[in-house]
Amino acid sequence: MLVQIFACFLLFVSYVHCAAEVNIPQTKTTHTVPRIDFYPQELKAVVEDEKRHVSFGIHWENSNDTTLIDSIDDFHGDFHVFVLSEDTKILEIVNFSYPNCIRSRDEPKNFSFTVKGIFLGFTKVKVNLIPAVKGCATKSKDRVPPKLLESTKDFDLVVSVIRPPSVLVNIVTGAMAALVAFNYINMGVQLDLHCIAKVLKKPIGPSIGFVCQFLFMPLVSSYFFHLSI
């Protein structure tokens, strides 16, 4: 009898202990992490040899997500700021107004830089935040990071560069549109009503074409697509 009472007591104690562990709220460590907002958020249709002005602000926010940066502890101090073009053959950074080093947890700062379209294509402008090991006391005028550390935080701005419109392109586009319109008009005036009525009485050909295009062809395409997966 005493053994059963003791066993029940142990079960009750273990149950209370487990319930207490479940109900205890687990506090998450809050970290201050950097955030960069671009204006505009995307650079679309930058013409070759055209210069565009971009503004960006560095802000600080509290977060429990440790995946925002690779090493949050490295950003509790000062850090260097680098603005780079992912492909300098498409886009170049021609001017900037931001410091090389910024102290952590300062008031929100707004900076800017100017880009220039070089060649047709898509690329990105990367703003890299690299921890300043020696702090902002050691000044450096180097704007290119010698080595991207594992704790680097990157912020990307998508950019598209287009070619400037030319008179020749406009002429070719207008000529092609006129030829297509003329072709449709020519086909329309050559229609024979008797031939159309004959086809409508026995629409075998149009039915075969409709089934092949809207039923057979999608099924075959889907079949080959699943084979390639």
What average pLDDT does the chain have?
Answer: 78
User: Given a cut of 50, is residue 91 above it in pLDDT?
Assistant: yes
Residue 167 has what pLDDT?
87
User: Given a cut of 60, is residue 139 above it in pLDDT?
Assistant: no
Question: Does the pTM of the predicted model rise above 0.75?
Answer: no
- Do the Cβ atoms of 86 and 126 come closer than 8 Å? yes
- In this predicted model, what pLDDT tens digit does every residue of 110-136 receive, in sequence order? 889 999 999 999 999 998 888 777 767
User: Given a cut of 60, is residue 198 above it in pLDDT?
Assistant: yes
DSSP letter string, the chain:
-HHHHHHHHHHHHHHHHHHHHHHSPPPPPPEEEEEEEEESSSEEEEEBT-EEEEEEEEEEEEES-TTSSS-GGGGGS-EEEEEEES-TTTEEEEEEE--SEE-TT-S-EEEEEEEEE-SSEEEEEEEEEEE-TT-TTS-----S-SS--TT-EEEEEEEEEEPPP-HHHHHHHHHHHHHHHHHHHHHHHT--HHHHHHHHHS-HHHHHHHHIIIIIHHHHHHHHHHHH-
Residue 18 has what pLDDT?
56
Tell me the CB-side half-sphere exposure of residue 135, using CA atoms within 13 A.
1
What integer is the mean pLDDT of 90-99?
88
Distances (CA, A) of 119 to 10, 50, 116, 152, 162: 77, 11, 10, 29, 7
Confidence at 70, pLDDT banded by 50, 70, 90: very low
Confidence at 12, pLDDT banded by 50, 70, 90: low
Residue 156 has what pLDDT?
92
Longest dimension (CA), the chain: 108
